[in-house]
Amino acid sequence: MSNWNKRTKAVHSGTRRSQYNEVSEAIFMTQGFVYDTAEDAEARFLKAGDDEFIYARYGNPTVAMFEERIATMEGGEDAFATASGMAAVNGALTSMLKAGDHVVSSRALFGSCLYILEEILTRYGVEVTFVDGTNIEEWAAAIRSETKAVFFETVSNPTLEVIDTKSVAELAHAVGATVIVDNVFATPVFTTAFEDGADVVVYSATKHIDGQGRALGGVIIGTREFIRGTVEPYMKHTGGSMSPFHAWMMLKGLETIDLRVRAQAQSALAIAEALKGHDALTSVAYPGLADHPQNALMPDGGTVLALDLGDQTSAFKFLNALSIAVISNNLGDAKSIATHPATTTHQRLSEDQRGALGIGPGLVRFSVGLEDEDDLIADIQNALNVAKS
């Protein structure tokens, strides 16, 4: 099993069959589990075996299938599934940190990730230093002997800067710090996080893992010791566990994730190439383009583009003129989704903060879906022409 390739793992790893030997994974929609005797209950509370369950907040057979499948695909020893991507980011950080610890984080983060690092951790006495994630000298200057963890999005949302995980991990490991990465934009298909030195990988399963815009979910992947010794006690007592129904959706999502994400990335590259030099655009950022500054770190490019139309009026005209892509704020969906970060996902930040992150008033994040690539190119080009007129 461990020598299976990732696409085989995506379909089969973690499967547990009931007495009926069903083909498709069963949904164990139950909070609790019956013990044959009082002695059995006592024994299970003392120490639950690998496939023994107590309460759905602690674990559930359907959730365990998802955890094993994604951990195996990612190349981690174990995983804990969470109610949302943010429960996973919060769980990975908060479960291992205490007052007096120091964390170094990239500044270019999803709004809610920034909130956890800037507002919540600091409230509990954790010191956080923010750096420009693409500048390795800033990481080197900020990481010190008290640094307990470093945190970054391997590809930043929405500006698509790719961070050099290997170099940051080397600096962090030299002081014994844990490297925790939010790997959403890299996706479980194109990930190289563990190979590059990450210790803990976090996903919002809401994005490509579900891939069809249906449900929230998240997952923390790491060593068995970190997941069962540090994360599980925190998560099972604070209540951010994944529902069995959502775990089943995520399991089904993993079965097709390779096909979906590769098709989306192929369309994203075709769109980026078709749009380069369009006179309604001041820039097109896509890590898969040879002229992207970190192309070598992420040649597969991913499924999201950052288009800059220069100003908000043009960006809004463009969004309102799209007829296939919808205006929303999810990504990794089968439906193409266009977002104006400055007025939505990053509205909470000041203009200066947005400026520092490269989120200008003309920036549009475009998540490429599964529609026909030629239709998408025609839709975008038409909307760009409207924006320019």
Ligand X SMILES: *Cc1c(COP(=O)(O)O)cnc(C)c1O
Residues at the contact surface with ligand X, assessed by CB under 6 A: 84-86, 89, 110, 112-113, 153, 157, 182, 184, 204, 206-207, 216, 218
Spatial distance between the Cα atoms of 131 and 138, rounded to a whole number of angstroms: 6
Name which of 317 and 340 has its Cβ closer to ligand X. 340
Q: Which is nearer to ligand X, 240 or 288 (CB)?
A: 240
Residues linked to residue 81 through DSSP beta bridges, in sequence order: 219
Dihedral sign, Cα of residue 351, residue 354, residue 359, residue 364: negative
Q: Which DSSP string corresponds to 128-175?
A: EEEE-TT-HHHHHHH--TTEEEEEEESB-TTT-PBP-HHHHHHHHHHT
Strand order across the beta sheet in which 200-204 lies:
78-82, 218-222, 200-204, 178-182, 147-153, 102-106, 127-131
Task: Select the residue whose beta carbon is closest to ligand X and give its number.
Answer: 85
Nearer to ligand X, 157 or 230 (CB): 157
Query: The dihedral of CA 337, 339, 344, 346: what is its sign?
Result: positive
Q: Which of 244, 254, 241 is nearest to 210 (CA)?
A: 254
Nearer to ligand X by Cβ, of 184 and 281: the residue is 184
- The least CB distance from residue 220 to ligand X, in Å, is 12
Minimal distance, residue 109 CB to ligand X, in Å: 8
Q: For residue 31, what are the contacts with CB-CB under 8 A and spacing of at least 6?
A: 55, 56
**Smallest separation (angstroms) from ligand X to the CB of 270:** 23
Least distance between ligand X and beta carbon 85 (Å): 2
- Among residues 74 and 379, whose Cβ is nearest to ligand X? 74
Strand partners, 364: 307
Edge-first strand listing for the sheet containing 337-339? 283-285, 304-308, 363-367, 337-339, 326-327
Residue with smaller CB distance to ligand X, 114 or 384: 114
**Closest approach of ligand X to the CB of residue 261, in Å:** 14
Instruction: Please state the closest distance from residue 203 (CB atom) to ligand X, in A.
Output: 8
Q: Which residues contact 113 (CB under 8 A, 6 or more apart)?
A: 86, 89, 151, 153, 182
- Contact between 274 and 381 under an 8 Å Cβ cutoff? The reply is yes
Nearer to ligand X (CB atom), residue 254 or residue 281: 254
**Minimum distance between the CB of residue 130 and ligand X, rounded to whole angstroms?**
16
Q: How many CB atoms lie within 10 A of CB 140?
A: 14
Would you say 154 or 314 has its CB closer to ligand X?
Answer: 154
Query: To the nearest whole angstrom, how small is the minimum distance from the Cβ of residue 82 to ligand X?
Result: 9
Q: What are phi and psi of 221, to 5 degrees?
A: -120, 135
- Residues 81 and 265: their CA atoms lie apart, in Å, by 26
